[in-house]
Structure 1
Amino acid sequence: MGKVGKEDEQQIDMAYRVVADHIRTLTVALSDGGRPDNCGRGYVLRRILRRGVRYATEKLNAPSGFFANLVPVVVETLGDMFPELKEDPNSVMEIINEEESLFLKTLSRGSRVLRQEIEKASKDKLIPGVVAWRLYASYGFPVDLTQLMAEESGYKVNMEEYEECRQQAQMSSSSKFSQANDVVDFNINAVNYLLNGKVPLTDDKPKYAYRLTENGDDDYEFDEVKCEVLALRRNGEFVSEVCSGDSCCLICDKTAFYAESGGQIYDEGSMEGEKCEFRVRNVQARSGYVIHFGEVMGTITRGSKLFQNVDQKRRVQVMKNHTATHLLNFALREVLGQVEQKGSLVLMDRLRFDFTCKAPLTVEQLVRIEQIVANIVNSDVEIYMQEVPLGVAKTIAGLRLTADETYPDPVRVVSVGTPVDALLKDPDGPGAKLASVEFCGGT
């Protein structure tokens, strides 16, 4: 049975049990498609992995790579009952080794700082919350690990102070964002004010009201959208009128402006009336309302009718970069297999695509990915977009989804090169596997 409790002073027997239990859990979970991450289920796996690595290295003095080398033992023991364990154990070992390498660097730095703080701690054996927050913010040292290591030395972490530090950091970050973008505060109380006042939610379908012209160039034609101003907010208060020089926000019955979402930057542009203009600097969505932030020239009142003018040059450039992320996602999966998208950033002048990968990309892989994207671009294929019932859309074989994303019903399907109707007629066919097909709410 081994030693437990006080009999196991050095926690050696406990370490053996932890390592055995955690490597079983990880081998099964990773073989089943789970991946360590910073949120949700993936974060649970990351915590299990890090705890197992820590007990192996600190309590058992095991060398780097020891933890992953136990995977074949699990496969041999449980493989007959769980055949999927035998499919790709090397991939499981690579994931564990990569996570271990990153964690050991964090563990080394964080442990050194924590030991210093424990030596300086007060007689009440309480580690200040600001220390725990600094370990997390500066070194990526998880607070639950700080708590565990402190408890092993007979100390506790002041979690109330830690939570205060975390909230202050969030407020500071939010404040900086607001100042940088000149965005007027629009909080949950503002949303409730609109809901209680029965202000209709914003119809944002006009943001998709554009089409490619037939002149052979990359020119787009955007529908003219006339809207009614339903609400005005200035300096944290709803008002009936705003005047020249005011920074404020407008809520309209409909909008052609894209609100920042899914990594895609917001639209800019203007709204114009007979004797007024509103320069749109930022667009955000809150609980079904689209809020336009900007500055006023002239006078705008509740009920004013305005014509919306999206900055078309900016929008088209963002659209091109957004399509590029779809092509990149397709190319990555063609070259690397089942990579998982974790996020993206789409701006006017650049894009970023976040994804999980078992190992750094080789030069040869990068060249192949670039060639695939370039070939699709040079082939000048058409891009198809169509709203489809969610349940029906999910039947398309090869469809690419973002993990843990909640999609609307109906959902917008974007296909590069293959008509959506053709995919729906033959959902099990090769269509989606040979082209980029994704759910997408962007432009």
Structure 2
Amino acid sequence: MQWTSNKIRKAFLDFFNGQNHKIVPSAPLVVKDDPTLMFTNAGMNQFKEFFLGNEKPESTRVTDSQKCLRVSGKHNDLEEVGVDTYHHTMFEMLGNWSFNDYFKEETIDWAWKLLTEVFGIDKDRLYITIFEGDKEDGLPRDTEAFELWNKHVPADRILDYDKADNFWEMGDTGPCGPSSEIHVDIRSDEERKKVDAKKLVNQDHPQVIEIWNLVFIQYNRQASGELKPLPAKHIDTGMGLERLAMVLQEKQSNYDTDLFQNLIQATEKVTGVSYSGSDQKKDIAFRVIVDHIRAISFSIADGQLPSNTGAGYVIRRILRRAVRYGYSFLDQKEAFLYKLLPALIKEMGEAFPELKKQSTLIEKVMKEEEEAFLRTLEKGIQKFSEYRKKHDKVEGEFAFELYDTYGFPIDLTDLLAREEGMKLDLEGFQKALEDQKNRSRKATSMEAGDWVEVNSAESTNFVGYDQTQAEVSIARYREVKQKDKKHYQLVLDQTPFYPEGGGQVGDKGVLKNDSSQISIFDTKKENNLIVHFTKELPKDLNGKFKAEVDVAKRENAARNHTATHLLHHALREILGEHVEQKGSLVRPDYLRFDFSHFQKVTDEELQQIEKRVNELVLENTPLVEKRNIPMDEAMQMGALALFGEKYGDAVRVIKFGDSVELCGGTHVPATGALGLFKLTNETSVAAGIRRVEAITGAEAYRYISERIQQLDIIAEEVKNKKDPVKGVQQVIGQNRELSKQIDSLKQKEEVAERNALLSELKELNGIQFLAKTVDLDAGSIKNLAFKLRKELKNAVILLGSKGKKVTLSLIVTDDVTQSKGIKAGEEIRDLAQHIKGGGGGQPFFATAGGKDANGLDEAYKQIEEKVKSL
């Protein structure tokens, strides 16, 4: 059987579906409600709340193919990508999970059956690793796993490894447990005879590779480092589709599989360069490009645009790395990555339809990012060229500046240096890089203590859609230190506080009882826990409390959230159905809405959009809310679902007339509650993404009232209350005429001054010289200086001015500079001291500003002495 990647994916899912596993869709690459993660970097991320016990799964057995990205934090493979044949940024993780259902025996038996019977992998080529135990943690060898494997595999092919290889942990804290890895030897028979594969397991050998990791989650790591048994045991497995395809398609590299070959062939066509297998640098460039195009495209499709911060910066780095390799080794001086998108869609578009749906946006964003970076690269190369004129080696600080500001990899700087015969201070570069990383770590470091249980509650019951007050008790709390500041996080048994999500900021308010009152300054969601932020703890943690939301802020936020729905509807109605929400921010004081649109929104269109939203406000359409309805039913209602958002089987639908959206935010009971809607700004965020900002209610009234007051003042000033616009236009016209008259007078004055100066020139040492004070402004003096420079030969002229600021202007004609070595820019610095100021400029013209007019005469004397001494 020909195992294409699509057939492999389907066979895996079908197998576990046959073992009563529910097939679930891949979660988005970008993580929205977990402060410990930027991206989904493992198949288990979307099930984290089940492992933590914060939520109960609807199905205790699931399977999927999860998009993963490993480019930041602990799981950072970026620098290996392309260099070897099996590391990737974006990859697919095939997995099966058990949430307190089956455990080791079924997991091991099914893994063996799937690999050897369904996929037909040679049993003699498979090697197993198990956890050898750890004295520090007080953990014994995983003999249970050994015995279960020994039913299928000889004992000499079951290898013991330590905690680093065979004990999986979610992070510094959280659920964890021993793991069992399955490795496969795909070397030739001849190579297998030479070296026993047991010696090559876990040695980063490109043909003796791990393909599947079975994790037996049975402990919880505390912040103190202590391990505690979990009340429920779980299974988490992960197998890279790319590596499995390499094995089943009998290739020696992931990049030789169908997942990458179409992309490599497309790259050959676009660049005109061949992927030969003999030119190491070019081949690495090919592998970098075809890997990175996948990570970039899927990230943009899931809603993460390249930017200068956070997850967006990581995506920008990946894109720039691909562009750099194409630029340096494939001679691509123009944008080319975006041209590979059709080949990617052809290969993966069926399994991941978001690629097709978002193809126009992906292409436009990628092309603009490429072109911007190529311009930056050119600037960096120009900066390097200027640097080499003054230096004989490349200092580490400068190499880091090129890296940090212009995106130069150190190897590109090294290449430029070697071409010029310069030595690179690599040690200095590494120090500057490490210093930056330390600053970044310090700025973002967060230490969270263990949760302290107060009252038992598996999860928080959110009652905030119906009430803004509730009787509550504290379920758990923890202490958190961030940037040398301390705060506490509380989880309540129930809460009216809305947690940050869907663009809407978290609620603020108070938690109080008879003995104490504390402020809640933020509310967020973390792995399905609603977490309340406070700077202090109540005196009696076990008491009953009243949780009260700041109603004014909540109502204003609700107005703005409803406004985003009406705005989205109006945008699609006026600009077209291609408009899709790409991000939002809903605050009590204003709203921000990002959407896909490929040109600037015109003033006329903005007026139409604002008018349409206000029409919807005036209609006072009541809210229709459907909670916990099946996703299929929501789609039948015509609800808009956003790409990059994770939706469960049951969703909430918000409907205002024809506006129907999936949404978890708070809203007003009817559109009339908005009162008034006012757009305040429209701008570009990225290629194909526009942003509008708006205000509603009292804030919109205040804004318009201020503008009317300003208009009244202007009408009064221009003395035209009936038509202040016409009055302003008249004033502007008069101003233009007066400006023309002033310019004409200045020109006459400059001509008169020029003639006077020429008549006062005297000869010193064969040089025409003059130093005097003139009654001209700085602009006129500059104009005069440039004219005199063209008209005169062998001249040095110093002009002073006593206007608002004391100034000196020095003119030195080119022939004096060449024959006598006198340069205006150097001389002016000494002359400026007399007027207690500073200055600089070019060899032929320089200026200085100061505050002491009494020093002008001394400056004139000094320049005259200088000329006499030449």
- What TM-score comes out, normalization by structure 2 length? 0.34
Tell me the SS of whatever aligns to 1:368.
helix
Find the counterpart in structure 2 of residue 370 from structure 1.
610
Tell me the SS of whatever aligns to 1:395.
helix
Find the counterpart in structure 2 of residue 229 from structure 1.
474
Contact preservation (8 Å) 1:50, 1:103: no
1:279 equivalenced with 2:519 (yes/no) = yes
Find the counterpart in structure 1 of residue 563 from structure 2.
324
RMSD over aligned CA atoms reads 5.3
1:37 equivalenced with 2:302 (yes/no) = no
Unaligned runs of 5+ in 2: 1-271, 347-356, 419-423, 668-870
1:437 equivalenced with 2:661 (yes/no) = yes
Deviations, residues 342-400 of structure 1 (Å, cap 9, x unaligned): 32211111111223432322223323322332222221111222223453246337432
1:106 equivalenced with 2:106 (yes/no) = no
1:207 equivalenced with 2:207 (yes/no) = no
Find the counterpart in structure 2 of residue 172 from structure 1.
443
Q: Which deviates the most, 402-411 or 378-387?
A: 402-411
Contact preservation (8 Å) 1:129, 1:160: no
Say if 1:56 and 1:265 are closer, same or farther in 2 by CA, change over 3 A.
same
Find the counterpart in structure 1 of residue 554 from structure 2.
315
Offset at residue 227 of structure 1 (A): 0.7
Tell me the SS of whatever aligns to 2:560.
helix
Amino acid at match of 2:472: C
Offset at residue 319 of structure 1 (A): 0.7
Amino acid at match of 1:347: R
Question: Distance in 2 between the 1:146 and 1:49 partners?
Answer: 10
1:262 equivalenced with 2:262 (yes/no) = no
Say if 1:312 and 1:128 are closer, same or farther in 2 by CA, change over 3 A.
same
Offset at residue 101 of structure 1 (A): 4.1
Deviations, residues 261-288 of structure 1 (Å, cap 9, x unaligned): 3332221222221232222222233334
Question: Distance in 2 between the 1:396 and 1:384 partners?
Answer: 15
Unaligned runs of 5+ in 1: 79-86, 176-184, 211-221, 237-245, 418-433
Show the 5 A alignment for 1:44-193: 51=322, 55=326, 98-112=368-382, 116=387, 120-121=393-394, 131=400, 135-136=403-404, 138=405, 141=407, 146=409, 149-150=412-413, 152-153=415-416, 162=433, 165-166=436-437, 168-173=439-444, 187=448, 189-191=449-451, 193=452
Contact preservation (8 Å) 1:281, 1:294: yes
Say if 1:411 and 1:169 are closer, same or farther in 2 by CA, change over 3 A.
same
Q: Which deviates the most, 278-287 or 112-121?
A: 112-121
Tell me the SS of whatever aligns to 2:475.
strand
Amino acid at match of 1:329: H
Offset at residue 172 of structure 1 (A): 0.9
Offset at residue 207 of structure 1 (A): 1.4
Deviations, residues 5-35 of structure 1 (Å, cap 9, x unaligned): 9999xx9xx79x97xx98xx89xx89x9899
Contact preservation (8 Å) 2:651, 2:662: no
Question: Distance in 2 between the 1:91 and 1:279 partners?
Answer: 43
Report how many residues are paired. 362
Offset at residue 253 of structure 1 (A): 1.4
Question: Distance in 2 between the 1:270 and 1:230 partners?
Answer: 17
Say if 1:34 and 1:386 are closer, same or farther in 2 by CA, change over 3 A.
closer
Contact preservation (8 Å) 2:463, 2:494: yes
Question: Distance in 1 between the 2:303 and 2:476 partners?
Answer: 45
Contact preservation (8 Å) 2:361, 2:596: no
Contact preservation (8 Å) 1:232, 1:251: yes
Amino acid at match of 2:474: V
Contact preservation (8 Å) 1:381, 1:416: yes
Question: Distance in 2 between the 1:397 and 1:41 partners?
Answer: 34
Match of 2:621 among 375, 381, 394: 381
Say if 1:89 and 1:283 are closer, same or farther in 2 by CA, change over 3 A.
closer
Question: Distance in 2 between the 1:267 and 1:415 partners?
Answer: 23
Say if 1:379 and 1:105 are closer, same or farther in 2 by CA, change over 3 A.
farther
Question: Distance in 1 between the 2:536 and 2:530 partners?
Answer: 18
Question: Distance in 1 between the 2:587 and 2:277 partners?
Answer: 58
Deviations, residues 260-318 of structure 1 (Å, cap 9, x unaligned): 23332221222221232222222233334333333569x62121111121111110001
Contact preservation (8 Å) 1:36, 1:45: no
Question: Distance in 2 between the 1:37 and 1:226 partners?
Answer: 42
Tell me the SS of whatever aligns to 1:266.
coil
Percent sequence identity is: 22
Quick one: higher RCO (CA 8 Å, sep 6+), 1 or 2?
1
Rg larger in structure: 2
Amino acid at match of 1:146: P
